[in-house]
Structure 1
Amino acid sequence: MKAVNIKTRRRSSDHVEHGTLGRGLAYVRRGSGPPLVVAAAITPTHRPPTGSDLTFVLRQLRPLAAERTVWWVNRRPGLDPTASMADIADDYADVLSGISDGPVDVMGISTGGSVALQLTCDHPELVRRLVMVASGCRLGTRGKASLLRATTQVRARNPRGTAQEFAGMLAAKRWSWATFRSVGWLLGSAFWPIDDADDLLATIQAEDRFDLTDRLHEIRAPVLVVGGTRDLYYDGANVFVLTADRIPDARLILYPGKGHLGTVSNRRLPRDVLAFLAEDSPA
């Protein structure tokens, strides 16, 4: 495994690194203990995070880093426009092979959950346990429609329209959907810059084509699916239930009344994830 452009800071016993790995995938490493690889949610850019973006990632990793060495890993820059989720998962497989000699725990958030599920199907020898957060075996009907609208806005290089579309789908209810869309439009590029539109488009299109419903029975690693009952991307909880139902011995945790953002930011999430990863056998 090759790591370049690494910057290191220390906070008492907390060790932090960030830079690039493997084929140029941006990473942030925090904590100590057994490794946990976190496949990042969709981001406007695939460049290594800096400034407030880095601060946000570190804050997100902090609860998990109390017990784990957490590797937050994003997609690589310069994705082929026709890249599939399997192609993206291959990049992650290259990174995992360098992190550990044996299988490691993997957690995927939103689009990162799609990557992590593809990784588990295509490279089962690399994954010890899998956690999917606000993610499923495919997008729901409304989620695919929103992604299509977002694609149109990104291609038009319209940051307000792009931010409006992505922000609205984070909500849980109709009134909050309208509010989130308004905030997204007002913030525009401050919320969702589209400087690297080609990588963003490639990721969106890979997500649009992604559907592993017919391969879920192949998975043998223990799996935890975590979602909200009002997630607009996944038809409420329907896709989460489908995903967990078709994976042998999978566990499902649903947060009542929570949407996409409410699931990812839920205070229960780190505790639920760490408890699952600590188990020695499938639920």
Structure 2
Amino acid sequence: LMNLGILDAPFTYIPSTTSVGSCFKFEPEEGVIEPAGTQAVQISFHTTVLGSFEEEFQFSVAGSPMPAILTIKGSVTVPSLEFDVDEINFGEISFGFPHTQCCRLTNTSPVPVTFQLRMSDDGTQPAVDSLDQIRKEGDPSWEKGIHFYLEPKEFTMNPSQGTILPQEHQDIEVTLCSNTVMDFYRRMLVDLEGFGQGVAALVITARCLVPELRVYPEILLYDECQLNVPYERKFLIANDTDFPGCYGLIPQERKDDSPVFYSSPKPCGIVQPYSTAEIPVIIEVQTLDKHCTNVL
């Protein structure tokens, strides 16, 4: 504001009554300008209304019949974000084994954006990784399956939030650890702070399956055994599929009349594709006779 007169000029900002005009702030809103003097006014603008605008702002001057008028024009647009791929397809994956793919999110707008990623229809309870599962010897989940009090959170994004400068990008790792045998069709959504939710999305597809593992030999012969003396034999678990598999021997429910006790020093493990795992089984015969015991 400039005072072109020869007297002091007290001024006051007249608040705008329009929806866009009310989003502008002026500092200071009032004051006195000396003759031939100037007053710098800071203008702040924050709006969620999209589109072009043209607003007039008035400053009344004491003793003047006409206000000083400032016209501001502009356009409000949503920041533009783009993924470098249309879809992430994990293909066929094995139950409980994490798989990671990458994508790039680019900020093509002239302003920095603060983003947060989320997956549609994903759960909240952390999924179980096979590497963690094989450490749980004797866990009921080996026999009854993994129990979730809530739906499993099977997707993780790294980073899941951050700020991208104009014309810059952020590389993102998307990891799927499926605890559900199903076909996945999800959308990774981008929420922008101060602008809205789901302003960009990326399709995520996958098929989760459990590989079929074979046991051989199907019968372990221990021949003649003495009572309460441990004897060890080994069998193999074969994986003839393209996918890694996870196995676990179910602990024996020993009873007073169990004729044979059995256990394994290596009851849990992972069998890689087209490979075998060797499982030792130790038995202790409790009663005289010929016995046949199922190891699960």
Regarding TM over 0.5, the answer is no
Higher relative contact order (CA 8 A, sep 6+): 1
* Structure (1/2) with the larger strand percentage: 2
More helix by share: 1
Which of the five TM-score ranges fits, normalised by the shorter chain? under 0.3
The two structures have a TM-score, normalised by structure 2, of 0.19
Report the TM-score when normalising by structure 1: 0.20
- Structure showing greater radius of gyration is 2
